[in-house]
């Protein structure tokens, strides 16, 4: 059996890796389009503190978070250990007035997870000890099982491991060839026959699938994300910080702090860093963590999140085209859900049971 995966972001790379692990012949198609979401995403793995209140979203996001330890072990066995993955915990900043309700809400959601840990309320002093640049004078909800991950590193590790297991990489823009059932894909002058195609093209999926009469309701949402560095500061164990807005701060092992992010609808694929975007991100970050004021600006990354009609991913087989599987619409949850969703897509492509009821995630809803 041959499966072609179109799109090599984190979900597509995961689909290729899981297919190769299952002994399937795999071709992974990679496009050079700038602004792919995986390349820019911050990498926060903490669905329990999210303000999204859809139980179907929480179910799949929790599955994504719980999949990471298994994935890390599998990739380590394949020689890939540099993923930027670490369970550093998270601090959701709250006011004194909302503290009791907030901790109860997060604890209730975390209770259904094996990896979330024991949620607790910590005071402002403890929060500043954990993330020194903070200037928050209220309490914070501490979620010890929260993690952060380097999306680029995970994607690249998945791709390398898939290639070592026999997958083939083709560079270029793909078009799917089908006549009621998948026949393969065309990339430039090359036709690659396939028994199944996994469409993991992110915000570019409408261009890929509309010629087949398949409409996926996905649009690009621009996110501008700023990377800072604190030379000589050990940020290895700093937790993720989730302010009362939709912004965030998280740290990595190389004295780097990532702050973000804008959520800009209606920009199309305008791949630019804007003054307003940087001002928004830095203004929000410095309002809660003024200790970052003297940090060095390293870069600003831009990614186009594939945003669907609601918070739930678009995941499943497409009935009108046999052999076509879609994994998309992950939005701001791409690095949380992507590896798990890619693995589910791989199972569907080879005819195996997905392991979850996919009705709420119908890709053409």
- Tens digit of pLDDT for each residue in 256-303? 999 999 999 999 999 999 999 999 999 999 999 999 999 999 999 999
The number of beta carbons lying within 10 Å of the beta carbon of residue 188 is: 11
Joined tokens for residue 56: 């179907």
* Closest-CA residue to 151 (of 67, 299, 44, 237): 44
Work out the end-to-end distance of the chain between its first and last CA atoms, rounded to an integer number of angstroms: 29
Q: Average model confidence (pLDDT) for the chain? A: 97
pLDDT at res. 98: 94
- Tens digit of pLDDT for each residue in 57-83? 999 999 999 999 999 999 999 999 999
pLDDT at res. 177: 98
Say yes or no to pLDDT of 255 above 90.
Answer: yes
Going from the C-alpha of 269 to that of each of 134, 135, 206, 306, the distances in angstroms are 34, 36, 13, 11
Stretch 121-145: mean pLDDT: 97
Residue 86's SS3 state is strand
Say yes or no to pLDDT of 112 above 90.
Answer: no
Question: With bands split at pLDDT 50, 70 and 90, how would you rate the model's confidence at 113?
Answer: very high
pLDDT at res. 296: 98
pTM listed for this prediction? 0.96
- Tens digit of pLDDT for each residue in 138-193? 999 999 999 999 999 999 999 999 999 999 999 999 999 999 999 999 999 999 99
Say yes or no to pLDDT of 334 above 90.
Answer: yes
> What residues pair up with 30 in beta bridges, in sequence order?
171
The per-residue DSSP string of 200-249 comes to: --GGGHHHHHGGGT-----EEEEEEEEEEE-TT---TTPPEEE-SSS-EE
Distance CA 313, CA 343 (A): 14
Beta strand 219-229 with 44-45 is unpaired
Say yes or no to pLDDT of 32 above 90.
Answer: no
Question: With bands split at pLDDT 50, 70 and 90, how would you rate the model's confidence at 351?
Answer: very high
The pair phi, psi for residue 66, each rounded to 5°, is -75, -15
What are the domain boundaries of the chain? Answer: 2-39+152-218+310-361, 90-144, 219-307
Residue 251 class from Cβ within 10 Å (0-12 exposed, 13-18 middle, 19+ buried)?
buried
Cα dihedral sign, 112-64-235-73: positive
Distance CA 337, CA 352 (A): 20
Question: With bands split at pLDDT 50, 70 and 90, how would you rate the model's confidence at 332?
Answer: very high
Q: Are 199 and 206 contacting, i.e. CB atoms less than 8 angstroms apart? A: no
Say yes or no to pLDDT of 246 above 90.
Answer: no
Q: What is the CATH number of domain 2-39+152-218+310-361?
A: 3.50.50.60
pLDDT at res. 128: 97
Question: Nearest 5 degrees, angle CA 205-CA 208-CA 212?
Answer: 120
Question: With bands split at pLDDT 50, 70 and 90, how would you rate the model's confidence at 307?
Answer: very high
Enter the DSSP assignment of 152. Answer: H
> What residues pair up with 242 in beta bridges, in sequence order?
92
| Fold topology of 219-307 | D-Amino Acid Oxidase; Chain A, domain 2 (3.30.9)
């Amino acid at each position: 059996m041959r499966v072609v995966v179109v799109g090599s972001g984190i979900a597509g790379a995961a689909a290729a890796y899981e297919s190769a692990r299952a002994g399937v012949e795999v071709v992974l198609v990679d496009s050079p389009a700038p602004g792919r979401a995986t390349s820019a995403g911050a990498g926060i793995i903490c669905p329990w503190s999210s303000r999204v209140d859809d139980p179907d979203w929480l179910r799949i996001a929790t599955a994504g978070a719980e999949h990471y330890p298994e994935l890390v072990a599998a990739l380590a066995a394949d020689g890939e250990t540099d993923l930027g993955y670490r369970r550093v915990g998270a601090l959701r900043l709250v006011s004194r007035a909302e503290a009791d309700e907030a901790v109860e809400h997060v604890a209730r959601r975390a209770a259904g997870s094996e990896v979330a840990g024991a949620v607790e309320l910590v005071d402002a002093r403890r929060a500043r000890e954990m993330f020194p640049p903070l200037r928050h004078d209220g309490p914070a909800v501490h979620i010890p099982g929260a993690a952060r991950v380097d999306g680029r590193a995970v994607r690249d590790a998945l791709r390398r491991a898939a290639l070592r297991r026999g997958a083939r990489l083709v560079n270029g823009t793909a078009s799917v060839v089908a006549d009621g059932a998948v026949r393969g894909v065309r990339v430039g002058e090359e036709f690659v026959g396939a028994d199944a195609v996994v469409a993991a093209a992110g915000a570019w999926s409408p261009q890929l699938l509309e010629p087949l009469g398949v409409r996926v309701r996905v649009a690009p949402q621009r996110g501008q994300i700023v990377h800072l560095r604190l030379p000589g500061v050990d940020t290895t164990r700093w937790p993720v910080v989730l302010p009362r807005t939709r912004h965030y701060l998280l740290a990595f092992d190389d004295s780097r702090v990532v702050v973000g992010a804008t959520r800009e609808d209606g920009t199309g694929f305008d791949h630019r860093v804007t003054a307003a975007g940087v001002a928004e991100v830095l203004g929000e970050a410095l309002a809660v963590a003024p200790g970052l004021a003297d940090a060095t600006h390293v870069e600003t990354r831009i990614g186009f999140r594939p945003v669907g009609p609601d918070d739930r991913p678009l995941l499943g087989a497409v009935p009108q085209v046999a052999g076509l599987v879609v994994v998309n619409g992950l939005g701001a949850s791409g690095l949380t859900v992507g590896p798990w969703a890619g693995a589910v897509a791989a199972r569907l492509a080879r005819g195996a049971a997905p392991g979850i009821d996919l009705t709420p995630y119908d890709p053409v809803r």
